[in-house]
Amino acid sequence: MINFFRKIRQSLLAEYKFTKYLIYAVGEIILVVIGILLALSINNRVNFNKERQNEIIILKEIRSNLAVDLKEIDDDIRYMDTTDLACNFVSHYINTFDVPSREFGISVLKTRTTPHFNPNLSGYKLLVSKGVEIIQNDSLRKSISVNFESMYSYYNKYQDERLDYKIQTLDPILVKYFTWIPNESAFLGEYQISHQDYSRLKAENSLIKLISGIKRENNLVQNRAERVLKNIVNLTEFLDNELTTRQ
C-alpha cells in the first residue's frame, strides 16, 4: 500500500502536476489522520469495555464481601444482646443472693464476651489498587468509600475501646475471685467462685459498678454496630441495583 501511494506521488511529480500533487498529499495526510483517529477510537473502546468488565468484577466481589460482613455483624449484635442480659442478671444476683450458683458464674463469663467484627476487604482493596475512579456511578463510589473508610474504621475504634475497658477493669477482679473452667460450650467455658470469695466480692461491691460500666460500653458498641449493619444493607441494595442495570 505504501509503495502504491509512493508511485502515485512520483508520477505526479514527474509530470510536473504540482497542484494535483499538493491536493493528493493533503488527501493522503487526511487519510493517515483519519486512520490514526480510528485506531485510537477502537483502542479507547477496547480499554473502556475492559475497564467496565473490571468494574463489574470488583462490584461483585464487594457485594460478596458485604454478605459475609452482614452475617458476622448480625451475629455480633446477638452476642451483645446476650452480654446485656448477663449484665442485668449479675447485678440482680449480687444484690439478691448470698450464695453463688453455676448460672451466676456463666453469666459473669458472658459479661466478659467481646465479639470482634473482622470485615472482608478483598473487594475494596482490589478497587483501591485499580483506582476508585473506575466506578462510574459517583453516588455508589461515595457510598462504598464511606462504608469501608468511615463506618468500618469508626466501629473498630469503638470495639477496641470496649475491649481495653474490660481488660483494664474487669479482668483483675475475675482473676482475683473466679476460676475459669474450660468446656465445649458456646462461650468455651464458665467461671466458678467459692462461697468465701463470693462473700468477699459482695462486700467489696466493685463488680456491680463495673458491670454498670460494661453494660454502658456494650450498649454504645451495639448501637454503632446496628448503624453499620443498616449501612451494609443499604449499600448491598445499591450494588444490586447497579449490577442489575449492567446486565
**Helices and strands in the chain, H and E counts:** 9, 2
Where do we find the cell 467496565? 52
Other Cβ atoms less than 10 A from the Cβ of 46: the count is 10
Which are the contacts of 235, defined by CB distance < 8 A and separation ≥ 6?
66, 143, 144, 147
At residue 192, φ and ψ (nearest 5 deg) are -120, 145
The SS3 of residue 189 is strand
Whether 110 contacts 174, CB under 8 Å? no
Q: Digits of tens for pLDDT over the chain (247 positions)?
A: 555 545 555 564 455 454 554 554 555 666 666 666 665 655 556 555 677 889 999 999 999 999 999 999 999 999 999 999 999 999 999 999 999 999 999 999 999 888 889 999 999 999 999 999 999 999 999 999 999 999 999 999 989 998 898 999 999 999 999 998 887 776 677 899 999 999 999 998 888 889 999 999 999 999 999 999 999 999 999 999 999 987 6
